[in-house]
Amino acid sequence: MSDPNPSPLSAADALIACHDCDLLYRKRPLREGEKARCARCGALLYTRKPNSIERTLTLALAALILFALANVYPLLDFQFQGRAQQSSVLSGVRELYAQGMWTLAAVVFVASILAPLLKILTLLYVLLPLHFGCRPWWMAQVFRWIETLHPWAMTEVYLLGVLVAFGKLSNIATIVPGVALYSFAALIVAMAATDAALEPEAIWERLEPCR
Amino acid sequence: MNPGLPVTAVRAALARCHACHRLSRMKPLPPGSHAHCPRCGAVLHLRKPDSLARAWALTLAAYILYVPANTLPIMTVVSMGHGEPDTILSGVRALIAGGLWPLALLVFFASVVVPVLKLFALTYLLVSVWRKSRWRPRERTVLYRVTEAVGRWSMIDVFMISILVALVKLGSIATIEPGAGALAFAAVVIVTMFAAMSFDPRLIWDALENLDER
């Protein structure tokens, strides 16, 4: 920046603090694709991503479609001595509940269905109006949720669980992967790309009253 | 105050909003009242509230839950009226016996190595902050970041059980029942995730600031 008069400390919105070590930085405009890292602890401070809102929106829509496919179709087909059994994400939850393990059923439900779905819906709720130039109701309250939901949406961990179950049963029975398994793999890619395209700072700045 | 030190937000009396990351000047407040972020409305804190007490309590709870998680069966394969309980470790052993080395390695790492290392890492971070250690703060911050990011991968076994229980329903030939160990194991993973979330890595760096001398 070529500003000859650095802004005083009271202009708090031009400053940024490292979330891991609390060091203060004066926020400097970045080129597209650039990342600002903390010099002291290496944490990622902020980034600038090209067309963040539009790209995140597109990817979140793709994720929503893949999420629907991953939950409607069967995940695995189990064939053993002429008998067949299908399983979907939800049937695993239902069976745990039926066997009296409702807490475990709730954990699996939240991590594999509820948190990923809420994350996608929250993004769409905030980004769709922003794309059309208006601000959604309760934007701050809703957008705050995304960071909270993030660690609990365990889609990629779930897929590894499917893989281990697949391996365990493949020695004793015939296991056929279903449509949902492929949708699940694509969903993970879409959700990771959504996270990578999102630039939260840019969205929070839209909340700033007047500049 | 040491003038050679770089300026931190807390020294400038600025609080970083945990939700929208905006900095706000903190003024003395009457006890019992909270300051709110002018941009997003979240409650402002200079540091995560009661960080050490919460992280200690959750870490200790995880240590206690770790015992039933590894000794109780996570699931039982009932075939022909004969039940065969599986623990976390015997599940890994069964994968090795079946020749599934890569999966055995994956489960061993996610279900055995990660939870133990996570508990040790949290304990070490808590002790080092409590002792106001100034040793290698950058490396300790990296340790914290890894601890926070890696915890969720331990849920592999829990998800595997939910899939097996739904697939293997062959009446008297074979069924799979979830065990209490699975619940304790899921609790270890969740409780340590909360412990890592309540730990404030900025406390590692506060020891360099001599905040208590002011």
Q: Where are the beta strands (DSSP E) in A56-116?
A: 76-80, 83-87
- Chain A contact for B153, CB < 8 A? yes
Torsion of CA B44, B50, B54, B56, to 10 degrees: 140
pLDDT digits (tens, 9 = 90+) for A8-60: 444 555 789 999 999 999 888 888 888 999 999 999 999 888 888 999 999 99
Sheet holding A174-177, edge to edge: A83-87, A76-80, A174-177
Q: Is the predicted pLDDT of residue A4 greater than 50, yes or no?
A: no
Nearest to A108 among B110, B158, B205 (CB): B158
Interchain pair A41, B170: CB under 8 A:
no
Can you tell me whether residue A100 is helix, strand or coil? coil
Percent above pLDDT 70 for chain A = 92
A87 neighbourhood in chain B, CB within 8 Å: 163, 166-167
Nearest CA-CA partner of B150 in B109, B178, B100, B104: B109
A88 neighbourhood in chain B, CB within 8 Å: 166
pLDDT value at residue B5: 56
Nearest to B166 among A17, A87, A168 (CB): A87
Strand partners, A78: A85, A175
ipTM of the complex: 0.89
A85 neighbourhood in chain B, CB within 8 Å: 166-170
pLDDT value at residue A78: 86
Nearest CA-CA partner of A30 in A187, A204, A201, A155: A201
Nearest to A207 among B39, B106, B183 (CB): B39
Distance between terminal CA atoms of chain A?
19
Interchain pair B178, A96: CB under 8 A:
yes
Rounded to the nearest angstrom, the minimum Cα separation between B157 and chain A is: 6
Interchain pair B177, A207: CB under 8 A:
no
A68 CB-near residues (< 8 Å, 6+ apart):
none
Interchain pair A161, B7: CB under 8 A:
no
Q: A51 near A33, Cβ under 8 Å?
A: no
Nearest to B183 among A13, A93, A103 (CB): A103
Torsion of CA B83, B86, B90, B96, to 10 degrees: 80
User: With a cut of 50, which residues of chain B have pLDDT below it?
Assistant: 1-3, 212-214
A148 CB-near residues (< 8 Å, 6+ apart):
none
Interchain pair A22, B159: CB under 8 A:
no
A83 neighbourhood in chain B, CB within 8 Å: 170
pLDDT digits (tens, 9 = 90+) for B132-179: 989 999 999 999 999 999 999 999 999 999 999 998 887 777 889 999
Q: Which amino acid is at A164?
A: V
Q: Which amino acid is at B155?
A: M
The token pair at A74 is 């069967």
Rounded to the nearest angstrom, the minimum Cα separation between A127 and chain B is: 16
CA distance B211 to B202: 12
A147-164 b/e (C-beta count within 10 Å ≥ 16 → b)? eebebbbbbbbbbbbbbb
A2 CB-near residues (< 8 Å, 6+ apart):
none
Rounded to the nearest angstrom, the minimum Cα separation between B16 and chain A is: 7
Q: Is the predicted pLDDT of residue A1 greater than 60, yes or no?
A: no
DSSP string, chain B: --TTSPPBTTTTTEEE-TTT--EEE-----TT---B-TTT-PBP-SS-TTHHHHHHHHHHHHHHHHHHHHHS-SEEEEETTEEEEE-HHHHHHHHHHTT-HHHHHHHIIIIIIHHHHHHHHHHHHHHHHHTT--S-HHHHHHHHHHHHHHGGGGGHHHHHHHHHHHH-B-TTSEEEEE-HHHHHHHHHHHHHHHHHHH--THHHHHTTTTGGG-
B199 neighbourhood in chain A, CB within 8 Å: none
The token pair at A71 is 């939950």
Nearest to A167 among B103, B183, B186 (CB): B103
B150 neighbourhood in chain A, CB within 8 Å: none
A137 CB-near residues (< 8 Å, 6+ apart):
none
- Chain A contact for B80, CB < 8 A? no
B169 neighbourhood in chain A, CB within 8 Å: 85, 95
- Chain A contact for B134, CB < 8 A? no
CA distance A40 to B160: 41
∠ at Cα B190 (B46, A66), nearest 5°?
Answer: 100
CA distance A31 to A1: 12
Place of tokens 């959504």: A194
pLDDT value at residue B98: 87
CA distance A22 to B9: 6
Q: Which amino acid is at B172?
A: S
Nearest to A108 among B7, B8, B162 (CB): B162
Interchain pair B158, A91: CB under 8 A:
no
pLDDT digits (tens, 9 = 90+) for A141-195: 899 888 899 999 999 999 999 999 999 888 888 888 999 999 999 999 999 999 9
pLDDT value at residue B1: 42
- Chain A contact for B107, CB < 8 A? yes
Percent above pLDDT 70 for chain B = 95
| A:B CB pairs within 8 Å | 213
Tally the C-alpha atoms within 13 A of residue A167's C-alpha that lie toward its C-beta: 24
Tell me the whole-structure pTM to 2 decimals.
Answer: 0.90
Interchain pair A42, B23: CB under 8 A:
no
- Chain A contact for B123, CB < 8 A? no
